[in-house]
Structure 1
Protein backbone atom coordinates (compact mmCIF):
# COMPACT_ATOMS: atom_id res chain seq x y z
CA UNK A 1 0.00 0.00 0.00
CA UNK A 2 1.22 3.49 -0.88
CA UNK A 3 0.43 6.93 0.56
CA UNK A 4 -1.35 7.72 -2.70
CA UNK A 5 -3.71 4.79 -2.08
CA UNK A 6 -4.57 6.12 1.37
CA UNK A 7 -5.23 9.64 0.03
CA UNK A 8 -7.44 8.19 -2.69
CA UNK A 9 -9.45 6.13 -0.19
CA UNK A 10 -9.69 9.07 2.23
CA UNK A 11 -11.02 11.38 -0.49
CA UNK A 12 -13.52 8.81 -1.73
CA UNK A 13 -14.80 8.14 1.79
CA UNK A 14 -15.33 11.84 2.42
CA UNK A 15 -17.18 12.42 -0.86
CA UNK A 16 -19.36 9.35 -0.35
CA UNK A 17 -20.21 10.68 3.10
CA UNK A 18 -21.56 13.88 1.56
CA UNK A 19 -18.57 16.22 1.73
CA UNK A 20 -18.13 18.46 -1.29
CA UNK A 21 -15.24 18.12 -3.71
CA UNK A 22 -14.18 21.63 -2.69
CA UNK A 23 -13.94 20.60 0.96
CA UNK A 24 -11.92 17.50 0.11
CA UNK A 25 -9.71 19.55 -2.22
CA UNK A 26 -8.92 21.95 0.62
CA UNK A 27 -8.24 19.16 3.11
CA UNK A 28 -5.83 17.42 0.74
CA UNK A 29 -4.20 20.69 -0.29
CA UNK A 30 -4.84 20.53 -4.03
CA UNK A 31 -4.81 23.87 -5.84
CA UNK A 32 -6.34 22.51 -9.07
CA UNK A 33 -9.90 21.10 -8.82
CA UNK A 34 -9.13 18.68 -11.67
CA UNK A 35 -6.71 16.82 -9.41
CA UNK A 36 -9.30 16.05 -6.74
CA UNK A 37 -11.62 14.65 -9.41
CA UNK A 38 -9.14 11.80 -9.87
CA UNK A 39 -9.19 10.95 -6.17
CA UNK A 40 -12.88 11.07 -5.44
CA UNK A 41 -15.14 8.36 -6.82
CA UNK A 42 -18.79 8.47 -5.96
CA UNK A 43 -20.52 5.28 -4.96
CA UNK A 44 -23.63 4.06 -6.74
CA UNK A 45 -25.58 4.82 -3.57
CA UNK A 46 -24.40 8.46 -3.52
CA UNK A 47 -25.34 8.90 -7.17
CA UNK A 48 -28.79 7.37 -6.58
CA UNK A 49 -29.37 9.71 -3.63
CA UNK A 50 -28.43 12.70 -5.80
CA UNK A 51 -30.83 11.58 -8.53
CA UNK A 52 -33.60 11.09 -5.97
CA UNK A 53 -32.99 14.59 -4.58
CA UNK A 54 -33.31 16.04 -8.08
CA UNK A 55 -36.55 14.09 -8.54
CA UNK A 56 -38.02 15.72 -5.42
CA UNK A 57 -37.11 19.19 -6.68
CA UNK A 58 -38.67 18.52 -10.08
CA UNK A 59 -41.88 17.22 -8.49
CA UNK A 60 -42.15 20.35 -6.31
CA UNK A 61 -41.71 22.58 -9.36
CA UNK A 62 -44.45 20.79 -11.31
Structure 2
Protein backbone atom coordinates (compact mmCIF):
# COMPACT_ATOMS: atom_id res chain seq x y z
CA UNK A 1 0.00 0.00 0.00
CA UNK A 2 2.80 2.43 0.85
CA UNK A 3 4.59 1.61 -2.38
CA UNK A 4 1.56 2.25 -4.57
CA UNK A 5 0.70 5.42 -2.64
CA UNK A 6 4.21 6.78 -3.18
CA UNK A 7 4.09 5.80 -6.84
CA UNK A 8 0.78 7.54 -7.40
CA UNK A 9 1.92 10.71 -5.66
CA UNK A 10 5.20 10.88 -7.59
CA UNK A 11 3.56 10.11 -10.93
CA UNK A 12 0.99 12.78 -10.14
CA UNK A 13 3.75 15.36 -9.77
CA UNK A 14 4.25 15.50 -6.02
CA UNK A 15 7.71 16.61 -4.88
CA UNK A 16 9.97 13.90 -3.48
CA UNK A 17 10.24 15.70 -0.12
CA UNK A 18 6.46 15.95 0.14
CA UNK A 19 6.05 12.23 -0.52
CA UNK A 20 8.73 11.50 2.07
CA UNK A 21 6.91 13.58 4.66
CA UNK A 22 3.63 11.81 3.99
CA UNK A 23 5.34 8.43 4.34
CA UNK A 24 7.16 9.50 7.49
CA UNK A 25 10.65 9.18 6.03
CA UNK A 26 13.35 11.03 7.91
CA UNK A 27 15.72 11.05 4.93
CA UNK A 28 15.08 11.70 1.24
CA UNK A 29 17.27 8.67 0.54
CA UNK A 30 14.45 6.48 1.83
CA UNK A 31 11.99 8.11 -0.55
CA UNK A 32 14.29 7.97 -3.59
CA UNK A 33 13.68 4.24 -3.94
CA UNK A 34 10.30 5.20 -5.38
CA UNK A 35 11.76 7.76 -7.81
CA UNK A 36 12.60 5.15 -10.46
CA UNK A 37 8.89 4.74 -10.97
CA UNK A 38 8.54 8.17 -12.53
CA UNK A 39 10.99 7.62 -15.38
CA UNK A 40 8.13 7.27 -17.87
CA UNK A 41 6.55 10.43 -16.57
CA UNK A 42 9.85 12.28 -16.83
CA UNK A 43 10.42 11.01 -20.36
CA UNK A 44 7.01 12.30 -21.38
CA UNK A 45 7.80 15.69 -19.87
CA UNK A 46 11.10 15.93 -21.73
CA UNK A 47 9.33 15.21 -25.01
CA UNK A 48 7.19 18.31 -24.41
CA UNK A 49 10.22 20.59 -24.56
CA UNK A 50 10.18 22.56 -27.77
CA UNK A 51 6.62 21.67 -28.65
CA UNK A 52 4.14 24.50 -28.95
CA UNK A 53 0.52 24.25 -28.02
CA UNK A 54 -1.96 25.25 -30.73
CA UNK A 55 -2.79 28.34 -28.66
CA UNK A 56 0.87 29.45 -28.57
CA UNK A 57 1.33 28.79 -32.28
CA UNK A 58 -1.74 30.88 -33.12
CA UNK A 59 -0.57 33.80 -30.98
CA UNK A 60 2.79 33.99 -32.77
CA UNK A 61 1.16 33.72 -36.19
CA UNK A 62 -1.21 36.59 -35.47
Identify the TM-score tier after normalising by the shorter chain.
0.5 to 0.7
Q: Could you list the per-position Cα deviations for residues 9-62 of structure 1 after superposition, in whole angstroms to 9, with x for gaps in the alignment?
A: 100110000101011001111011110011342151x11233135x34xxxxxx
Q: Could you list the runs of 5+ residues in structure 1 that have no partner in the other structure? A: 1-5, 57-62
Equivalent-residue separation in structure 2 for 1:10 and 1:39 (angstroms) = 10
Q: Which has the larger radius of gyration?
A: 2
Report runs of 4+ in structure 1 exceeding 6 Å deviation: none
1:39 aligns with 2:28: no
Q: TM-score, normalised by structure 1?
A: 0.65
Equivalent-residue separation in structure 1 for 2:8 and 2:38 (angstroms) = 9
